[in-house]
Structure 1
Amino acid sequence: MNNALFSLFICFCLLSPTAFSEQTIDNLINQDKLTISLTVNESEQQIVGQALVVSIEVATNRWFATGTRVQSFTLTDVVMQTNNITTINGSKRVKGQSWATQTHEITLYPTLAGSYLLPEIKVDVSVNTENDGIISGVLMTQEAGFTINLPEALIGIDNFIVSPEVSLSIDGQFDSDNPYSIGEAITQTITITASNTPAMMIPEVNLTNISKANEKITEGISIYHKPAKVFDKSNRGTLSGSRVESFTYIFEKPGDYVLAEQILYWWNSQTNTLETLQIPASSWRVSDKGFINQHSFTNGLRGLDFTLTTLLIIALFFVALALLYVIFIKRKQLVTLYKKISQQEQRQLRQQFLSNIARKEYLLATQTLYQYSMTLDKPTETKSYQLTKRLHKLAFQNDQNKDSSLTFSIEDAQLLIKQVADNTASNVKESNFPFKSAIHLNKK
């Protein structure tokens, strides 16, 4: 009897080799209790820069214990966002039985045309089985290939946006009718928004191509380009990316200037056509009101009535000699008077102050501001302005107490200069930071 039972036991083990072995993820696959599949969701015309979604579905006839997780992987010439995987829980019917599913959608942005091979991707799986409890392991997807095209219309274009809809807005326009003064500044902000496209795929804008008299210049205009702001939004599952570029132009020399237009190329993925957005060219004039208009002066001389008698000409000659003599004797006083009337020193200090702020040289900016307030006989009022206090904190903070949230923009600088000139700032309590001590420290 015992021998018969032992024989039955041996036969059972031979017929069922996994009866007393530990159940694994591979066993569940072999027993058709667990499946994994990968699908490349290509568009009819998948092009460079267009989103490509890869779907990985894991399904079980039971349910997932701790879910599934796609392990990280890399692919050459493909951009992947940090959080580029969307997981969807669901169910499906398999041979009349309800199975639980988890689908991971991975968004890729190929940057070059050609054929790609998606490698095997590892997926962590944990399944709650009927008889063996929780079983965990790693599954592998199969390799998959896809092809990325570059339409003929895009050949030779380095930067473009792929999206069904793109918008462009421009804030801050140059005034071509009214001349600017040296030291003034204009800020222009460009905002580009694209649907179904992350902000990282929107190319940067370069508004620095400025020319003077049809020649590209490297001086006369200082340009401060703020770091671009890029952010994504999702509205009911629809992604839209935005890129904000800001340029501040500080006028340093007189002349006629032109900022060249810029064309943004946009591939409309809905109509499969190339479209363009235009940032129009801008032109403006910078004048120095302190300069004498020599041309007008010469024309005035030509308009003299040369029919005057010789006596009148001689009289004018002696008057001119007398004036030249007075100018020579009083030249220092006249130069001082000219500078005061034309506010030359104030204009130069305003320009220097704005340039220091643009270069974030806050210590030099505080010195220039003090010198500017001295020319207006307002050093006492200046130190009580809130903007002045903020500037002092930036100028005299050290690495130990540095406040990274503290900023001082060109707009703040322009407002502070206007407050000092107009004396319109609201009265506030004097700062604990001694202004004169700060200037004394700067002179060391």
Structure 2
Amino acid sequence: MRQISFFLFLLLSATSFSLYAREEASPTLRELVNNNKITITSWLNSDKNKTTTVAINQPVILTVDIATPRWFTDGTAIERISIPNIIAQQRNLQATNYSLMNGEQTWSHQRWEIPLFPQKSGRFTVPSIGVKVTVSVKTGKSITGILFTQPHRFSAKRPTSQMTNPDEWIVAPNASLTQEWQYSSSNKSKINKSKDDKAFQLKVGDAITRTVTLEVSDSLAMLLPTIIPNEQMSDLQRYTDPAQLIDKNTRGNFTSIKKESETYILQKGGKVNLPPISIPFWNTTTQQSETLFLKGKTFIVKHTLISWLTTYWYYITLSLISCITLGLLIKRTRLYYHTHPSPDFYLLCQSIYTRTWPHIRLHIYRKYVQKTEQLELKKYKTNNKKEWDIQSEKLQTAEISKFKVLWLWFKIKK
């Protein structure tokens, strides 16, 4: 009986040792790599050999691909990328899973694509990136470890000398710029549209809302420039809504959207011009610089009584002061000439108006005698003596035009 018990003990010990040995024989992740049971490859865009050169703000795609003939028992986790003057933004929070045939074996793949956006010119190095993976082994267990990518290098530059301020540019294969106008009035029936479809008539106190949308492919919304220029205009009050930033993925096509909206409250009458919008755009498909452009609008603003007084109070005050001053001057002049003789020229004009020719001749002779101390008009010396003699002789015998009378009057000088 004791011999049988001892034999069973030895058999149980041998079995336990065998199971323990099998557990210890599970391979490590490094051994899987060395035995080509798991691989990690990485590259920039689709070029594994050459140095990539891009424009500022143009994405460089870092692709990381992990493959194994077994299967992944958990999702991979990639280390956060931190490189000075580069924005690394993962568009997908999960890797792409797929399988490929390698000879007679089916290999499972997990792929990450991470865009890198350089913010300045220069050469950049993407260091080794750690990727945590979990794969199955033949023992039915899972092995977890960290694989590292190879470092990569690329360069960024300003694609054109016109790009003096890269923050104001769009760098993308495609971009579009659109706008919408909305009008708010207390009486919308009075908003008149002009024939040329460029001017609208509103009144002081009405509101205009301008909404501009910028859509750019293969970029980030946070990299898009300011759309509506910040211009101060005294004719209106300006209210700006917070910008809306949207990054969306439609079947692998990445689009960034920036939407800006401003409301203008009209403060003065007359013409109000809202400026056009232009944004410089470097087209990475054609490798040429372009400009996204939106037209501005002109609005005809009708005054209210209060706004008209507020706008023209200076001119109104000046006109009133001028009228009062002129009225006082006229009154004072009349009072003065009630006790003093009227000016000769004023009397001459009255005589011309009534066509009293004896008085006209009297005033001409009086001035002539006072200025020249002579009695005969023909003896007067002037630069146009012939014309003087003709008109002075006609004045003594007949009627001449009032313009000739005035000509004779102003010709008489000392």
Runs of 4 or more off by more than 6 Å in structure 1?
Answer: 173-176, 292-295
- Correspondence for 2:40 among 36, 42, 51: 36
Matches of 2:154 and 2:221 in 1, distance apart?
Answer: 24
Specify the alignment match of 1:380 in structure 2: none
Q: Is 1:26 matched with 2:30?
A: yes
Specify the alignment match of 1:192 in structure 2: 214
Specify the alignment match of 1:249 in structure 2: 264
Specify the alignment match of 1:108 in structure 2: 116
Specify the alignment match of 1:279 in structure 2: 294
Specify the alignment match of 1:205 in structure 2: 227
Matches of 1:154 and 1:82 in 2, distance apart?
Answer: 31
What one-letter code is carried by the residue in structure 2 that aligns with 1:166? A
What one-letter code is carried by the residue in structure 2 that aligns with 1:100? S
Give the deviation of 1:200 after TM superposition.
2.6
Shifted more, 55-64 versus 226-235: the winner is 226-235
Q: Is 1:223 matched with 2:227?
A: no
SS in 2 for 1:203: coil
Matches of 1:271 and 1:48 in 2, distance apart?
Answer: 16
Give the deviation of 1:139 after TM superposition.
1.2
Matches of 1:186 and 1:64 in 2, distance apart?
Answer: 58
Specify the alignment match of 1:50 in structure 2: 58
Give the deviation of 1:179 after TM superposition.
4.6
Specify the alignment match of 1:240 in structure 2: 255
Shifted more, 68-77 versus 41-50: the winner is 41-50
What one-letter code is carried by the residue in structure 2 that aligns with 1:191? T
Give the deviation of 1:229 after TM superposition.
1.4
What one-letter code is carried by the residue in structure 1 that aligns with 2:42? L
The answer (yes or no) to whether the contact 1:225–1:247 under 8 Å persists in 2 is yes
Q: Is 1:66 matched with 2:88?
A: no
Give the deviation of 1:88 after TM superposition.
1.9
Q: Spell out, residue by residue over 1:148-201, the C-alpha distance to the aligned partner (whole angstroms, 9 max, x if none).
A: 222124431431112222222111179764553221111111111122333333
Q: Is 1:263 matched with 2:282?
A: no
The answer (yes or no) to whether the contact 1:85–1:105 under 8 Å persists in 2 is no
The answer (yes or no) to whether the contact 2:98–2:109 under 8 Å persists in 1 is yes
The answer (yes or no) to whether the contact 1:207–1:259 under 8 Å persists in 2 is no
Structure label with greater radius of gyration: 2
The answer (yes or no) to whether the contact 1:112–1:148 under 8 Å persists in 2 is yes
Matches of 1:42 and 1:91 in 2, distance apart?
Answer: 19
TM-score for both structures, normalised by structure 1: 0.55
The answer (yes or no) to whether the contact 1:85–1:104 under 8 Å persists in 2 is no
Unpaired runs of 5+ residues, structure 2, are: 1-20, 184-192, 320-414
SS in 2 for 1:29: helix
Matches of 2:106 and 2:201 in 1, distance apart?
Answer: 76
Matches of 1:84 and 1:92 in 2, distance apart?
Answer: 22
Matches of 1:23 and 1:40 in 2, distance apart?
Answer: 32
TM-score for both structures, normalised by structure 2: 0.59
Give the deviation of 1:126 after TM superposition.
0.7
- Correspondence for 2:156 among 148, 152, 163: 148
What one-letter code is carried by the residue in structure 1 that aligns with 2:237? S
Matches of 1:40 and 1:60 in 2, distance apart?
Answer: 22
Change (3 A) 1:276 1:108: same
Change (3 A) 1:280 1:177: closer
Give the deviation of 1:20 after TM superposition.
4.7
Shifted more, 196-205 versus 52-61: the winner is 196-205
The answer (yes or no) to whether the contact 1:86–1:105 under 8 Å persists in 2 is no
Q: Compute the RMSD of aligned alpha carbons.
A: 3.4
Change (3 A) 1:274 1:85: farther
Q: Spell out, residue by residue over 1:76-101, the C-alpha distance to the aligned partner (whole angstroms, 9 max, x if none).
A: 21223364455222233445433221
Unpaired runs of 5+ residues, structure 1, are: 1-16, 211-216, 299-444
The answer (yes or no) to whether the contact 1:125–1:137 under 8 Å persists in 2 is yes
SS in 2 for 1:46: strand
The answer (yes or no) to whether the contact 1:208–1:223 under 8 Å persists in 2 is no
Give the deviation of 1:271 after TM superposition.
1.0
SS in 2 for 1:200: helix
Q: Spell out, residue by residue over 1:209-236, the C-alpha distance to the aligned partner (whole angstroms, 9 max, x if none).
A: 24xxxxxx4x442110101112233332
Change (3 A) 1:163 1:83: closer
